[in-house]
Amino acid sequence: MNPCDLGQFLHSRRARTTPVNAGLVPPPGRRRVPGLRREELARLAGVSVAYYTRLEQGHSRNASDSVLDGLARALRLDETERAHLYDLARAPRRVTRRPAPPEVPHPRTLALLDALPGLPAVLLGRRNDVLAWNPPGHALLAGHLDPEAPEDPARRPSLTRMLFLDPRSREREADWEAYARTHVGHLRLVAGRHPDDPELAALIGELAMKSPEFTALWAVGHVRDCTFGSRRLNHPEAGPLELTYQVWLQPDSPDCRLEVYTAEPGTPSADALALLTGAAAPAPRRG
């Protein structure tokens, strides 16, 4: 499974786009597939069928901006999908994957994390590894794990791996399928930005082998940039929770994301979250 396959992404978007959605009047008769045919997409994008076929089959690289813009318009790509298309098109033909040094959270970000004692917050790295969390964040998302695990790069929890392979984490998600789809969409976006990351490729390969549900979601080709959203949890101590999460990006560490959870004031979720965060007493950070 190649996480940076331009042809696979184009094929998935072409299969998703119907002639009617693309502004075409389909010819009479039964179609074998609901999506666009190659010749229809090529005509809409202003390229030859032969060229588009080579592009989708991986035999042509370095597509011009005008070609990519034409494909994006024809496929009705949103801003995130368009950026992903460019990432895939600009990826080198031969990717050299070299081990990257462990991600190190910036002290300023850790200070911000510690300044949020009443809100669950978690600092995530490029691959959704937990680089740090505050006590409420640990209690909310992974109270069954060692709270000090993020401090050791070899033991850092992976929220993606937990979502698909950890039964206790899966049981916590009231809308598992919807959240998993969002998670996979973001992972695909990151993989397009970092085709040379061996640990990211290994994570995708591991999930593809161990989780048929991950494989099915990955094949859809969905792309998502997670900056905010809602999440429903069945928490083992706090009970049902309806939460909103917001992601704070770190300008000096663009691959790191600080994810903060809140509940609407005056709701049962807010009361339950207050009890949970109050029970998660802050501890001094080591080092």
Cα–Cα distance between 181 and 135 in angstroms, integer? 27
Q: Give me the architecture of the 107-279 domain, per CATH.
A: 2-Layer Sandwich (3.30)
pLDDT, tens only, 157-186: 999 999 999 999 999 999 999 999 999 999
Q: Where are the domains of the chain?
A: 6-90, 107-279
**For residue 90, what is the DSSP state?**
H
| In the block, residue with structure tokens 């009361």 | 271
Q: What is the pLDDT of residue 96?
A: 61
pLDDT, tens only, 211-246: 999 999 998 888 988 888 999 999 999 999 999 999
- Among 7, 6, 187, 2, which Cα is nearest to 86's? 6
Lowest mean pLDDT among 18-27, 41-50, 268-277: 18-27
For residue 206 the two structure tokens come to: 């591991």
Mean pLDDT in residue range 56-75? 87
For residue 64 the two structure tokens come to: 């011009």
* Residue 225 near residue 205 (C-beta atoms within 8 A): no
Instruction: Give the global pTM.
Output: 0.82
Q: What is the pLDDT of residue 97?
A: 62
Lowest mean pLDDT among 45-49, 88-92, 176-180, 196-200: 88-92
Given this structure, which CATH class describes domain 6-90? mainly alpha
Matching fold, domains 6-90 and 107-279: no
pLDDT, tens only, 180-191: 999 999 999 999
Residue 50: pLDDT over 60: yes
Q: What is the pLDDT of residue 91?
A: 74
